[in-house]
Amino acid sequence: MRVALVTPEFPGCGPSYGVGQYGSALARGLAERGAEVLVLTADGGGGHAIAPGEPPRRDATWSCPAVLTPLRAAPWLTSSLERWQPEVVEFANWGGLGAWVRGPWTTVVRLSTSVHAIRPGSPLRRAAQQLHFASEARTVAKARRLIAHSGAMAVLGQRLYRRRTDYVIPLPWSGQRLVADVLSDDVLFVGRLEHRKGIDVLLAAWRLVRRQDRRAQLHLVGADHDGFGARALSIWGSDGVVVHGRLEEPDLMALRARCRIQVVPSRYESFGLTALEAWGAGLAVVASDTGGLSEVVDDAGLLVPPGDARALSTAILRLLADRRLCAKLAEQGVERLPLHTVQRCAELTLAAYASARTRGI
């Protein structure tokens, strides 16, 4: 099958987060199953074309505000797809890159967190968010079939886009298993320092943790979004907190090997890839009981109400005090990883593509 994956982010093409990570893993998995795969990525600076196993190449250059990227990139995306002649094109809802692309191919859209989950910080950002969501909705409306990462995202997609999800396919985990005998009381957070990721809730909880455990250290890994993390640190303090910023994968793996617990305090997640990454490193997980996180973590971690700093601190302290429980939860998480292999995700995705091509709307 000839497939094109169109994504707003991809490793090696600028900042890449969850959408870029699963796009990279999926492209590799599809290719391993015999599909011919082209990845097209576009942002405010231009477009890249990527074949699996090859480095990204800049294929087009422009300059525009990020919110206008779907409109600016549409001619390049359309011409690239016309040359490639794919049987199936997959877009992400995030970024809305399919909004103005037209062609005869079968279109599938994979639903991840919507821009609606991000709290706008100003009237200008609120207007940009509305434009961004309009591109998302237009992309989803053009899809032959919808794939969601989780049942929770399928429910949210129904509410946001007035479309039922056809397939729920969990995200793949493609990292390396780490085995470490951790003796420290270090706790890890990985993600953007922003409102949706709950960094303010974590710092409020951490102040409560430090009142009872002066040995514990909290490591924050991720870019500070619009200074939100710095403001949260100024409010809740930085006692026992180490701010690393963004780390390359080898450095992040080394840091994970030092930690015993990973905290995912998000106010909403469509899936929760960070939990899989934590289990791959043998860490116990404390997470918010929200969205796809609830499905992914379930009883293999401690779940707390989103936004509840006191409940979060209680869960962290419980694991810091009980190494046996910590190890048990980490092992239960490892046992879940076979449900999230790249191979399984690729097989389910190819089956969804085949069904989309043979069934009417």
DSSP 198-220: THHHHHHHHHHHHHH-TT-EEEE
Model confidence band, residue 240 (pLDDT cutoffs 50, 70, 90): very high
d(CA 187, CA 286): 10
Q: Do 225 and 246 fall into the same domain?
A: yes
Flag whether 352 is in a domain.
Answer: yes
Residue 255's domain comprises 186-339
What is the mean predicted confidence (pLDDT) over 70-86? 97
pLDDT tens digits for range 91-102: 999 999 999 999
Flag whether 178 is in a domain.
Answer: no
Q: Do 80 and 166 fall into the same domain?
A: yes
Q: Do 314 and 346 fall into the same domain?
A: no
Flag whether 136 is in a domain.
Answer: yes
pLDDT at site 181: 62
Q: Do 155 and 10 fall into the same domain?
A: yes
What is the mean predicted confidence (pLDDT) over 164-182? 85
pLDDT at site 361: 46
Q: Do 14 and 89 fall into the same domain?
A: yes
pLDDT tens digits for range 309-325: 999 999 999 999 999 99
Q: Where are the alpha helices (DSSP H) in the chain?
A: 18-32, 69-84, 123-141, 151-161, 199-212, 228-236, 249-256, 273-280, 291-297, 309-321, 323-336, 342-358
Q: Do 312 and 353 fall into the same domain?
A: no
Share of residues in the chain with pLDDT > 70 (%): 98
What is the mean predicted confidence (pLDDT) over 171-182? 78
What is the mean predicted confidence (pLDDT) over 337-347? 95
pLDDT at site 360: 53
Q: Do 305 and 278 fall into the same domain?
A: yes
Q: Is 25 strand, coil or helix?
A: helix
Phi then psi dihedrals of residue 240, to 5 deg: 75, 20
Flag whether 180 is in a domain.
Answer: no
The model's pTM: 0.92
Q: Do 309 and 353 fall into the same domain?
A: no
Model confidence band, residue 177 (pLDDT cutoffs 50, 70, 90): confident
